[in-house]
C-alpha cells in the first residue's frame, strides 16, 4: 500500500433542493474568466443549454441573480457575474477552504495509524 490515504470532500448547499455546489462554482469561475457563458460551457466540455439550465436552477433556488448577460451585436455578447454571484462564490470558496483545512486535520488525527 504505497499510496497515501487522503479525504475527498465536496460541499453542496441546499434549501428544498440543491442550489449551489462544486459544479456551479466552477461554471461561475469560468464565466468570470471568459466573460461568456458559451465560452465557459465550452471550456468545461458542457453544452451551452446545460450551463444555462444550471445557472437558472441555481438562481431560482438561491433567490438571487448570479450572472448578467448581454446578447450579441456590434460588440458581441457576453456574461459577467453579478455582485451577488461574486459574493456567494467567494463565500462558498471560503467555506470550502476552511472545511477542507479542518477536515484534513481531523482526518490525520483519526487515520494516523493507517498513514
pLDDT value at 77 more than 60: yes
Contact 81, 89 (CB under 8 A): yes
pLDDT value at 106 more than 70: yes
CB proximity list for 91: less than 8 A, separation 6 or greater: none
pLDDT at 82 (0 to 100): 98
CATH topology of domain 18-66+75-108: Arc Repressor Mutant, subunit A (1.10.10)
* Mean pLDDT computed over 96-114: 94
Burial 58-79, CB ≥16 within 10 A → b, else e: bbebbeeebbeeeeeeeeeebb
Which of 55-59, 66-70, 86-90, 95-99 is predicted with the least confidence, judged by mean pLDDT?
Answer: 66-70
Tell me the C-alpha to C-alpha distance, in Å, between residue 71 and each of 74, 79, 85.
10, 9, 19
Contact 104, 7 (CB under 8 A): yes
> For a pLDDT cut of 90, what percent of the chain falls above it?
82
pLDDT at 70 (0 to 100): 83
Using left for φ > 0, alpha for ψ between -120 and 50, and beta otherwise, residue 35 falls in left
pTM of the model: 0.88
pLDDT tens-digit series, residues 1-38: 467 888 999 999 999 889 999 999 999 999 999 999 99
Whole-number Å distance between alpha carbons of 45 and 97: 26
Amino acid at each position: 500500500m504505497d499510496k497515501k490515504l487522503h479525504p475527498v470532500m465536496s460541499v453542496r448547499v441546499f434549501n428544498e433542493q440543491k442550489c449551489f455546489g462544486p459544479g456551479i462554482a466552477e461554471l461561475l469561475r469560468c464565466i468570470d474568466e471568459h466573460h461568456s457563458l458559451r465560452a465557459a460551457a465550452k471550456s468545461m466540455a458542457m453544452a451551452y443549454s446545460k450551463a444555462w439550465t444550471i445557472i437558472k436552477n441555481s438562481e431560482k433556488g438561491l433567490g438571487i441573480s448570479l450572472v448578467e448577460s448581454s446578447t450579441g451585436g456590434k460588440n458581441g455578447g457576453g456574461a459577467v457575474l453579478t455582485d451577488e454571484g461574486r459574493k456567494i462564490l467567494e463565500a462558498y470558496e471560503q467555506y470550502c477552504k476552511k472545511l477542507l483545512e479542518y477536515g484534513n486535520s481531523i482526518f490525520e488525527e483519526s487515520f494516523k495509524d493507517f498513514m
